Amino acid sequence: MAAKAKAAIIFEGSQPERVRRAVRELGEGLVPEMTVDLNAAFEGSYEAARRYVLAYRDLTSKLLCEAAELKPVIAIHTSNYDTVLEDTSTQAPFSPFAAQYDLGDAVALELTNQARVLLGFQGLTARASNGAAHEIDELAARRFLHNVRHHLNQLDDDSLVQVMAAFELSKTELGALFGVSRQAIDGWLRNGVPADRREKLNTLASLMDLLERKLKPGRLPGVARTSADAYGGLTMLEMVAGDRHRELLEDVRESFDWSSAA
């Protein structure tokens, strides 16, 4: 199925079943994996809850890339949408779709529904149901929510995620700074940043901290994307991509030794 045709079904289709099949295809195995992990997470597995959060994050990213096929402007604000949609992972298993589908499919449909509404598309409507297909007792639900929230907070504390958010970088843009693919960044978010890339990440995090302290709120992404004579006509992000991140950090430190906040 052509990318734009699949995107049209996912974000403009009115039949949940067609949307479900298209999202399953888009997920490339993520949806059935989520079913397994969700069942284990509700049984109390801490690691399964972590795998669920990561799979939810991966599917969120795939959906946003798909949405950009229909609305290219979405690609510019991907990191903002990522954060909003990832927060819905705690409630997605309890949506009305859970009365009709396996947990993975129900979560995928609810995530898609939330993405559609957030991005300005028409929301999906679940069929009316007399009860839930998955009986989850209160204790299991509370334990699941605790574990998922913990993993969300833990992942949000990661330097890689913080840098993405501060500079408003998509995974593709972040990959370009490190000379790797978007898929590699997905792996880093799941398994951690390789040792040989930590130095560059730490320098970026230091640059982020300095600029966030000195610049007015909301200025950082624009400043990082503005070319400057001091960098030979390059932007800060181009300096980082060219492995001149240490030089950049030193220049910024020196500039703020005498300048006032921007």
Among 51-60, 61-70, 219-228, name the most confident range: 219-228
pLDDT in tens, 221-255: 999 999 999 999 999 999 999 999 989 988 988 88
Determine how many CB atoms are found less than 10 A away from the CB of residue 204: 26
* Mean pLDDT of all residues belonging to the chain: 87
CA gap 104, 98 in Å, rounded: 9
Return the exposure string of 106-145: e unless at least 16 CB atoms fall within 10 Å of the residue's CB, then b.
bbbbbbbbbbbebbebeebebeeeeeeeeeeeeeeeebbe
How many residues does this entry show for the chain?
262
Q: With contact defined as beta carbons under 8 Å apart, do 41 and 147 qualify?
A: yes
Give me the mean pLDDT over the 144-160 stretch.
81
Predicted local distance difference test score (pLDDT) of residue 25: 94
3-state secondary structure the chain: CCHHHHHHHHHHCCCHHHHHHHHHHHHCCHHHHHHHHHHHHHCCCHHHHHHHHHHHHHHHHHHHHHHHHHCHHHHHHHHHHHHHHHHHHHCHHHCHHHHCCCHHHHHHHHHHHHHHHHCCCCCCCCCCCCCCCCCCCHHHHHHHHHHHHHHHHHHHCCHHHHHHHHHCCCHHHHHHHHCCCHHHHHHHHHHCCCHHHHHHHHHHHHHHHHHHHHCCCCCHHHHHCCCEHHHCCECHHHHHHCCCHHHHHHHHHHHHHHCCCC
Take residue 104 and report the two structure tokens written for it.
Answer: 């993975």
Report in angstroms the alpha-carbon separations of 22 from 6, 56, 116, 165. 6, 16, 14, 29
Q: What is the pLDDT of residue 262?
A: 43
**Scanning the structure block, which residue is given the tokens 């992972």?**
89
Tell me the percentage of the chain whose pLDDT exceeds 70.
Answer: 91
Average pLDDT over residues 44-51: 90
Domain residue limits, the chain: 3-156, 169-258
261 — pLDDT class (breaks 50, 70, 90): very low
Which residue's entry shows tokens 């295809």?
25
Bridge partners (DSSP) of residue 234 are 228
For the whole model, what pTM was predicted?
0.63
Residue 3's pLDDT is what? Answer: 66
d(Cα 103, Cα 39) in Å, to the nearest integer?
8
**pLDDT digits over 116-137, tens only?**
999 999 999 888 665 555 678 8
